[in-house]
Structure 1
């Protein structure tokens, strides 16, 4: 505010009156202040307004989709670890506001909070334009995804081994006519899971390229559409007997489609997922899936961020894969003769 006042040749109190609408200011002075605000790209520090008497680190957390319970579990891990450090967490969910056009709004909000650092969950198929601007605010830690070319530290799970394990389980139950519902082709996690599936198929004597694949966007609706396309490509004795889905929400969408066609799960078609969100164990049938340590990933991302804040010169690892676990439940059984 002092810089704005100096540039506009007015007092700091006049700047405050204009920005907060708390006092009389002439039109000429108001225009000078607003012009100075624009030229200096000044943003009121909302965090400072409420925390003038105390100092606390503030962490930005960008979550792509709060309707996905997996992201909510990661966010809980971030918040819990941060609260133990007496840090504030500013949550931003850009897709709540709409498409990528909401990014400038998100960036302005994060900048106004004078963040100590930022934790970024990428579950979308495109890297937001504002990511590099966020790195100017402080250290940025990725969680759940790698973004090649950005040089940012990341906390992820062992997607590849988890995908290999769940696909091997499907094969061990006797399935040979399998369809894959993969995640967005631009995401690192999607490539890792697809590689794991193909490794399992190759080990089982199946040519990986012969397995039909449809790509979704990790949302339930895309699982429904992908299952429809895959099942339409098979019929009669060649009908697919198992669907391997790259996350639980798409698995739910696939089950929804199968039931709309009077196909039973797992009697007619088996289905597996990935993530182990809370509702996976309460579905009918209970979903066989891969458990990711979502809460631990969020906590570890926060821990890494605070380490970078305390030691700016440290060289963090490119990424840290946390172990996963195959959860065998009721959604897979041997194919019918």
Structure 2
């Protein structure tokens, strides 16, 4: 009697099937214990038991004593029902509304879409709170890639139970696969650049430096480098956070009153606001005040003076995302966390003091 592989099986069972099909587990081999499987796949013991029960019913696994072993018929059953899925592989890209015009996202998405080259379908969904309603349509053969700033982690955990893999772009997590810039290293590189140019009085244009975020990681990197040089980074507590331009004006005024020679902005839009604030106050950049920033938006090289900034490594992150997706499609375990060190572009907005 031919066994049909039911594609509604759990994502955990799907992962085990893929491991057997790829030869990671061969006929007669004992699989890991329930506890080890739970740790390996980051799922509950109950999920492991349910998945194993599915594979016992399909005669992919058999019980011997207290262990579970791959049957000699397992590979044949899998190949006969080869539509290991009955549904083709799909990459679901979920992103927040504000990403739709982002050149960074465009670069990452194009890397993924072109690199898949027909090996999996690629569909895009938007939401104001990720993963959003698209999560209701996730199936066991999906690879879910989430790109945004605000996440419902409980919903993502539910998705993780039902799909092949979840990949977070530009976000930190100890549970899910993540691909992101090394913002801490980027912060260090900015502070080192200023220090090498003789700057020791450096302000951080960040309202909430202790708030967990990519900005916080950049701040910590800069702060830690300066501490190693026995220097403190200047911070200011600004009560009224309703107007970003006024915030940048206030940062500039306060840091100049404290004899700062340089300011670190944590995204390029802050830096160009600082440029305008300086123009209005007739503060000369970089003679009176040096400026560095992050992201390297399309206009930064054409600012006056040309803005020194850290380039977001969109091409490398897109390549890493594609590599992770292809690794999963091949039935292999991807790297859990990938961090890419961004490049600092040294232009004209930093004055050499020594």
How many Å separate the matches in 2 of 1:269 and 1:168? 17
Relative distance call for 1:226 and 1:306 in structure 2 (3 A) is farther
What residue is the counterpart of 1:170 in the other structure?
A: 194
Give a deviation string over 1:179-199, Cα, whole Å, max 9, x none: 113488554533331221012
Tell me how large the CA RMSD over aligned residues is. 3.2
How many Å separate the matches in 2 of 1:198 and 1:130? 35
What secondary structure is seen at the aligned counterpart in 1 of 2:264? strand
Structural mapping, 1:184-333, within 5 Å: 185-208=210-233, 211-213=234-236, 222=244, 224-236=245-257, 238-311=258-331, 314-333=332-351
How many Å separate the matches in 2 of 1:198 and 1:140? 33
Aligned-residue offset at 1:137: 4.3
What residue is the counterpart of 1:39 in the other structure?
A: none
More helix by share: 1
Aligned residues: 260
Aligned-residue offset at 1:318: 2.9
What secondary structure is seen at the aligned counterpart in 1 of 2:294? coil
Aligned-residue offset at 1:309: 3.8
Asked if the contact 1:140–1:305 (Cα under 8 Å) also holds between the matched residues in 2, the reply is no
Aligned-residue offset at 1:251: 2.3
Give a deviation string over 1:258-313, Cα, whole Å, max 9, x none: 334333332332211122233322333222112232122022113213322432xx
How many Å separate the matches in 2 of 1:301 and 1:193? 22
Normalization by structure 2: what TM-score? Answer: 0.63
Aligned-residue offset at 1:255: 2.5
Gaps of 5+ in 2: 1-85
User: Do residues 89 (structure 1) and 89 (structure 2) align?
Assistant: no
Give a deviation string over 1:56-93, Cα, whole Å, max 9, x none: 533222333324433333333333323x2443332234
What residue is the counterpart of 2:106 in the other structure?
A: 72
Aligned-residue offset at 1:112: 3.8
Relative distance call for 1:310 and 1:328 in structure 2 (3 A) is same
Relative distance call for 1:90 and 1:285 in structure 2 (3 A) is farther
Aligned-residue offset at 1:143: 1.8
What residue is the counterpart of 1:155 in the other structure?
A: 179
How many Å separate the matches in 2 of 1:170 and 1:214? 23
Asked if the contact 1:184–1:190 (Cα under 8 Å) also holds between the matched residues in 2, the reply is yes
Give a deviation string over 1:145-177, Cα, whole Å, max 9, x none: 2124xx101122222222111111112222232
Structural mapping, 1:12-31, within 5 Å: none
How many Å separate the matches in 2 of 1:233 and 1:122? 33
Give a deviation string over 1:91-128, Cα, whole Å, max 9, x none: 23434xxxx4xx5xx6323534757121112334x656
Relative distance call for 1:174 and 1:161 in structure 2 (3 A) is same
Relative distance call for 1:325 and 1:260 in structure 2 (3 A) is same
What residue is the counterpart of 1:181 in the other structure?
A: 205
What secondary structure is seen at the aligned counterpart in 2 of 1:284? coil
Relative distance call for 1:214 and 1:189 in structure 2 (3 A) is farther
Aligned-residue offset at 1:329: 0.6
Normalization by structure 1: what TM-score? Answer: 0.65
Asked if the contact 1:117–1:137 (Cα under 8 Å) also holds between the matched residues in 2, the reply is no
Relative distance call for 1:256 and 1:121 in structure 2 (3 A) is farther
Relative distance call for 1:293 and 1:87 in structure 2 (3 A) is same
Asked if the contact 2:138–2:162 (Cα under 8 Å) also holds between the matched residues in 1, the reply is no
What residue is the counterpart of 2:91 in the other structure?
A: 59
Relative distance call for 1:113 and 1:272 in structure 2 (3 A) is same
What residue is the counterpart of 1:108 in the other structure?
A: 133
